[in-house]
Each structure stands twice: as C-alpha cells, then as structure tokens.
Amino acid sequence: MPPTPERPLTPHEKLAARLEGAFARHCRSLTDEATAQDFLITLDEVRITLHGALETGLLTRDQHDTLDAMFEAMQQAPGLLTG
C-alpha cells in the first residue's frame, strides 16, 4: 500500500493507514488476523445499530446512508493493509 509518485494512496488506503496508526498506538495491528476479526465484528454491530436507528426514526435515510458508507469503508481496512 505504499504510495508512489505514479500512484498516490486512494482515500480508502489513507483511511486504512490512519486506522492502522490508531491501532499501533495501542500495540495492536489490523494485519493481525484476530484483531482484524474483532474490528470487523464490531463494525458489523455498529452497522446493525445504524439500521435500527433508521428503522426507529432516529436517523433519516440520508444520514443512515452517509454513516453506513463511512463504516463500510472502514471495513475494507484490514484487507487493504494485508493486500
């Protein structure tokens, strides 16, 4: 995932690098299979919670879709880091 002059990091790769930095500050890594699995389970549950907020009227469709897209992008991080 290192950038080159010919190919800078994509927005998803930048997000993955930022998330990896956050985990590294806690001596963890999203390249570790168990840590990545825990991360993905958590994001699945967050997305389920967002769906519940939509269903109960706490979020509008646009708000839900925006937030869900952000969490969906975060779910790509482990795969982008491990190639």
pTM, to two decimals: 0.87
What was the pLDDT predicted at 3? Answer: 59
Contact 35, 28 (CB under 8 A): yes
- Write out pLDDT tens, residues 22-68: 999 999 999 999 999 999 999 999 999 999 999 999 999 999 999 99
Measured CA to CA, the distance from residue 63 to residue 72 in angstroms comes to 14
| Alpha helices (H) along the chain | 11-24, 33-55, 61-75, 77-82
